[in-house]
Structure formats: C-alpha cells, structure tokens
A and B are shown apart, each in its own frame.
Chain A
C-alpha cells in the first residue's frame, strides 16, 4: 500500500515537471534569438548609438531623446501613416479575395477545385524574391507584358514607368503582396468551410435564405475563428512588409518617397548607421503591432480556454 502511494506520488511529481521540460527548448531558443535582441533594442533605443559606437566607443544614454526626435519628425509620421494605410488596404483586399476564392472552391466541380488549389499552391510556393523578380519583369517599363496588354487594349501605356509615382508604386506592391498572400487565406478559410456541415446550408436553402443571407448568418459566424486569426496575421505581415518594398525600390523608384516602416528602419540602421534611431522606430513598430493584435490575442486565449 505504502509502496503504491509512493509510486503514484513519484508519477505525479514527474508529471508535474513534465510540461516545463517540454517547453524548455522552445523558450530557450526564443529567449536567445528574439528575447535578447528585444532587450538590446529597448536599451539601444535610449542611447546615442551611431557609427562611432559600432567601432567600440561606449554609447551614451540619452533616455528618450531618440523618441522625442522621431515624434517631431514629419518624415517619420509620413512613413507611419503610409505604412498603416498600406497595411489595412492590402490586408482587406487580400481577405476579400481570399474568402471569395474559398467560397468559389466550395461551389465548383471537383476537377476545377483541384485546378484552383494547384494554382494557389504555385503562387503560395513562389519564393518572395523569385516572385518579385517575375513581377518586376511583368511591369518592366520597356518590355513588360502589362504595358503591352494595356497598350493593346487601346490605353496609352507605351513605356509607362509604374514605379516612379509613389501611388502607382504602392499599387504594384499591393498587387504583388495580394497575389502572394491570397492562397494562405483561401486555403485556411476553405478548410474552415469544410467544417460547416452541408446539412445546415441545405436546411437554410430550404428555408429560402438567399446566398447573401446564408453567407453572413451561417458561414461567417461558423468560420469566424479562422477569419479572425487569418486577418490578424495578414495585418501583421503587411505592417512589417520589407522584402517586397526593398526589392521594388531597387528596381527603380525614388527610394525616399516610397519608404514604409520596414525599409525606413533598414535605411536608418544600414544606410545612416544610426542604431539608436533605428531601434527607437523598431520599438514603435513593436508597440503598434501589439496594440493592433492585443484584442485578437485575448480572444484566441479565450478560445483556448473553452
């Protein structure tokens, strides 16, 4: 009897420590590669950290001077506003098209569905840099097929440079990002849709619900968890978009007029070698992201509890 209790006790104790052992590797690597840089960044954002410090000079603490300088900088505010607008517009367009495609996959014949899925997979699988290269070729001002198509359609797009105007630069960037991100949205939402039982849909059809009503009153509530997390991820990914903008800038735009937050930090960090300022902007993005996502994080935690 006593032995048995001891065995059970040992088992219980072992089980009590098991979860901690299980999360140690993940916690460790996150602490090393994200936690430490995060702390370093927070500290550096309050220092005067320029070229000289990179060659070993000690950094002076200036507390919030970097932030104050940034808050007074109209260029930064321009970048912030552009980034937020770009992020919201791109994420919304991606969501709408993604959901429409998921619905489409749900109603087409099976072979067509497979064709759509393979297409989506191809677009999704395209490495960002390869996709960017292809799209810059499509929009190339001299021999790009887009200009050729528009010119053939009777519009004046001969030798039109899409990247020189900031607005059309952002339009091209958005088009590319939407093309790349829609597959993820479409697949996730489609997976969610397959969970909606066909019987419920059929019953609502019998009751005379229109497609529109069906969509808003049955489908949306049922796939809402999927929609929420997918939208959240889109917003976050589009807010920190860097690679696409960086490469498009390299393909011939006026760099100073087309910065978004990601490229702005890169410019501060590598171009101007001002780690203090770059860190301050990074901390700002960070705060913005967390504020943006806090609501969703809470709702996901709730979902986990239920």
Chain B
C-alpha cells in the first residue's frame, strides 16, 4: 500500500467522522424539538383527561344556584364546602364509609395471603395438576360476574350472609384471587430461585430464606396486587346491589347511587351530588397516589444486578 492511498484513506475517514458528528448533532437537536412537541401534546391530553375529575371538584364547591345558570362557571371562586357539610350531615355517609373500609380491608388482606401462597406453588414447584390449576385460574377470572350474581345471591341468602361484610367479601375475594395469583406469579417468577438457594446455603431455612430474601423483593408486587384488590372491592357495584340490600349495610357505591336517585326525586342538586362523588372518590385517589411511588420502584432489578 502506498503512502498516498493511506493518506487518502485517512482523509476519508476524517471526513466520515466529521459528517457523523454533524449528523449526530442535528439528530440531537431534532430529537429535542420532537420531544418538546410531544410534551406539549402530552400536557394537552392530560388536561382533557383530567377535566371530568376537575369538573367534579369544581361543581362540588359551587352552590346549586350557580350551577343552574345557563353559562357554566369554570372556576370555583366564591365556592364553599357547604355541599360537603350538607352531605355528611345527611347522616348516611359515615356508616357507608365504615362498611366500605371493612369490606375492602378484609378482601385485600385475605386475597393477598391466598394468592401469594398459590403463586408460590405455581412458580416454585412443578406438581401434578399444576397446568389444570393454571387453566382454572385463567378461566375463572374470565367468568362474567354479571352472569353469576343471581346464583351468588342465592348462595349468600342460603348461608345467612345477606347484608353482612363477610358475605360480600367472600364473593369479592373469589373474584379477585385469580387475577392476583396471575399477577403475583409474574413477580415471584421474576425473583430467581438462586437467591433463595444461596441464602439456604448460607444456613437459612427455606421459610427464613423466603421471609428475609424473597418477601421483601415481592413488596412491589404485593402492593400492586393489593391496590388492584382494594379498587375492585371499593368500587364493586353489581354484587353489592343484590347482596347488600339494607340501606344500613350499603357500601359507598350503593350509597352514592341511592343519594343520586333520592336527589333526582327533587330537582337534582348537582352540587351535593358532586360533593358526594368527591367524598367517595377521594379516599381511593389518596391511597392510590401514596402507593404509586412504590408501584414503580425497581426493587427487583436492583437486587439481582447489585
């Protein structure tokens, strides 16, 4: 190879490198511009999506006389908490809240324990009937609850559990457990059995290894599943509609629906109805936002890589 060709090859390479640099630079600025545009789109979409929630709060703070005006009021200036006070003083809200809390916590607690055990069985053991069990879990979670509630009503009335926390919780647990098993299965499978075995080599028993190593790693999965179960129990309407018939044993969704209907008999007081909706929604939203951080934390990947 002559010196000339080497030199020219070097020049070409240098030119290529320079071109690549400018290309990278223009790509970076193009990417920035694109990101800005998409960010604006994102904000607009968020605002649209948020509007119903905002409108609920806005209307809840305004007196009915303002809501009855032809032109809507978009900001709650001069608003008050009168609607909330009126709703709570109605006297039926707090018992319904208590009922909902009892049902939701019973459902979440029992569901998590049952589902975690089953998820461990599925992902840590190979046993006869495992596939049938998985199949059953998958099919059961697809059963339309709306097609079963009449039979479930008959069952609960046979067991004497109409209007009771236990009765409605049993139905909720059974409805939520399959999906929770499936969800937790993914999380358990994501934690390598090696970790547990390594701990056992270091002298921990199987259950100790599970409690100290696997369990903390499962926390995000348990939180996510728990949130799912909580929401189902808190929001469920159909089964509650047939199983909780007494006004004194209503959960919040039933109470709210009853409140709307009672209000509709007079001219609907939308301010109070929206205040009632807010009262039903706020506990869920607060709970959701608190656990949100833990939902997304990457505890598992850190442990395996670290």
A residues with CB within 8 A of B: 15-16, 18-20, 22-23, 25-27, 29-30, 32-34, 36-38, 40-41, 44, 101, 104-105, 107-109, 112-113, 115-131, 133-135, 137-138, 140, 143, 145, 148, 179, 236, 239-240, 242-243, 246-247, 250, 261-262, 265-266, 269-270, 275, 278-279, 281-283, 285-286, 289-290, 293, 297, 300-301, 304
- Let me know if B121 and A289 touch, CB within 8 A: no
Q: Give the chain B neighbours of A122 by CB distance below 8 A.
A: 50, 53, 285
Q: Contact at A134–B56, with CB atoms within 8 Å?
A: yes
> B201 near A: Cβ within 8 Å?
no
Q: How far is the CA of A266 from the CA of B237 in the complex (A)?
A: 13
**A interface, over-half SS:** helix
B280 cross-chain contacts in A, Cβ below 8 A: 127, 129-130
In the assembled complex, B139 has its CB within 8 A of some CB on chain A: yes
Give how many A-B residue pairs fall within 8 Å (CB-CB): 267
A108–B140 touching, CB < 8 Å: no
A281 to B149, CA, bound (A): 13
Q: Specify which of B68, B117, B152, B281 is in contact with A37 (CB 8 Å cutoff).
A: B152
Task: Take A37-B151, A120-B49, A125-B231 as given contacts and tell me if A19 and B237 are in contact as well, using a CB distance cutoff of 8 Å.
Answer: no
| 8 A–B contacts, CB within 8 A, in A order | A29-B110, A107-B34, A125-B285, A130-B281, A133-B260, A279-B151, A283-B147, A293-B142
| Residues from chain B with Cβ under 8 Å of A30 in the complex | 136, 140, 174, 177-178
Q: Looking at the assembled complex, report how far the CB atom of B203 sits from the nearest CB atom of chain A, in whole angstroms.
A: 16
Q: A40-B151, A115-B46 are in contact. Are A127 and B170 (CB under 8 A)?
A: no
Decide if B52 touches A138 in the complex (CB within 8 Å). yes
Q: Which residue of B lies closest to A247 (CB)?
A: B257
> Could you say which of A134, A239, A240 contacts B52, with CB atoms under 8 Å apart?
A134
B26, chain A: closest CB distance, angstroms: 13
A187 to chain B, nearest CB (A): 9
- Does B134 reach chain A (CB closer than 8 Å)? yes
Interface size on B, residues (CB 8 A): 94
Smallest Cβ distance from A52 to chain B, in angstroms?
A: 15
Q: Give the residue of B117, B173, B260, B289 whose beta carbon is less than 8 angstroms from that of A33.
A: B173
Task: Let me know if B146 and A240 touch, CB within 8 A.
Answer: yes
Q: How far is the CA of A109 from the CA of B46 in the complex (A)?
A: 14
Assembly CA distance A290 to B149 (angstroms): 18
Q: Of residues 46 to 65 in B, which have CB atoms within 8 Å of A's CB atoms?
A: 46, 49-50, 52-53, 55-56, 59
Q: Are B144 and A134 in contact (CB under 8 A)?
A: no
Complex CA gap A121/B291 in Å reads: 11
Q: Which residues of A contact B53 (CB under 8 A)?
A: 122-123, 126, 134
Q: Are B144 and A285 in contact (CB under 8 A)?
A: yes
Q: Is the CB of B147 within 8 A of A281?
A: yes
How far is B181's CA from A124's CA once the two chains are assembled, in angstroms?
21
| Distance between A118 CB and nearest chain B CB, rounded to angstroms | 7
**CB pair B42 A300 closer than 8 Å:** no
Most buried by A among B178, B252, B270, B287: B270
Please state if A104 and B45 are interface contacts (CB–CB under 8 Å): yes
| Residue from the list B42, B68, B276 in contact with A112, Cβ < 8 A | B42
A261 contact set on B, CB distance < 8 A: 144, 146-147
Q: Which of B211-247 contact A (CB under 8 A)?
A: 231, 234-235, 237-238, 242
Alpha-carbon separation in the docked complex, A126 to B150 (Å)? 27
**Contact residues in B for A123 (Cβ distance below 8 Å):** 49-50, 52-53
State A283–B131 Cα separation when bound (angstroms): 25
Known: A19-B125, A121-B289, A282-B147. A33 touches B253 (CB 8 A): no
Contact present for B121 and A125 (CB under 8 Å): no
Q: In the complex, how many angstroms separate the beta carbon of B265 from the nearest chain A beta carbon?
A: 12
Inter-chain contacts of A134 with B (CB < 8 A): 52-53, 55-56, 274, 277
Q: Is the CB of B281 within 8 A of A125?
A: yes
Within 8 Å CB of A275, what residues of B? 150
Q: Nearest-CB distance from B127 to chain A (Å)?
A: 4
B103 neighbours in A (Cβ, 8 Å): none
- Considering the complex, which residues of chain B in the window 75-95 have a beta carbon less than 8 Å from any beta carbon of chain A? none
- B117 to chain A: which residues have CB within 8 Å? 22-23, 25-26
Min CB distance, A31 to chain B, in Å? Answer: 9
A252 CB to closest chain B CB, in angstroms?
Answer: 9
**Contact: A22 with B257, CB < 8 Å?**
no
Query: Could you tell me if A179 and B52 are in contact, using CB atoms closer than 8 angstroms?
Result: yes
Q: Which of B133-191 contact A (CB under 8 A)?
A: 133-140, 142-152, 154-155, 170-171, 173-175, 177-178, 181, 185
B273 interfacial by beta-carbon distance below 8 Å: yes
B261 CB-CB contact with A under 8 Å? yes
B34 with A38: CB separation less than 8 A: no
Query: In the complex, what distance in Å separates the CA atom of A22 from the CA atom of B150?
Result: 30
In the bound complex, residues from chain A placing their C-beta under 8 Å from that of B34 are: 107
* Distance in angstroms between the alpha carbons of A140 and B49 in the assembled complex: 19
What residues on B are CB-neighbors of A129 within 8 Å?
235, 237, 252-253, 256-257, 277, 280
CB-CB < 8 A to A240: which residues of B?
144-147
> When the two chains form their complex, are residues B288 and A23 in contact, meaning their CB atoms are under 8 A apart?
no
Residues A37 and B35 in contact, CB atoms below 8 Å apart: no
Kindly provide the distance from the CB of B117 to the nearest chain A CB, expressed in whole angstroms.
Answer: 4
What's the Cα separation between A32 and B292 when bound, in Å? 33
B114 within 8 A of A: yes
Q: Do B284 and A32 have beta carbons less than 8 Å apart?
A: no
Cβ of A301: which chain B residues have Cβ within 8 Å of it?
Answer: 131, 134-135, 138
Question: Shortest beta-carbon distance, B90 to chain A, in Å?
Answer: 16
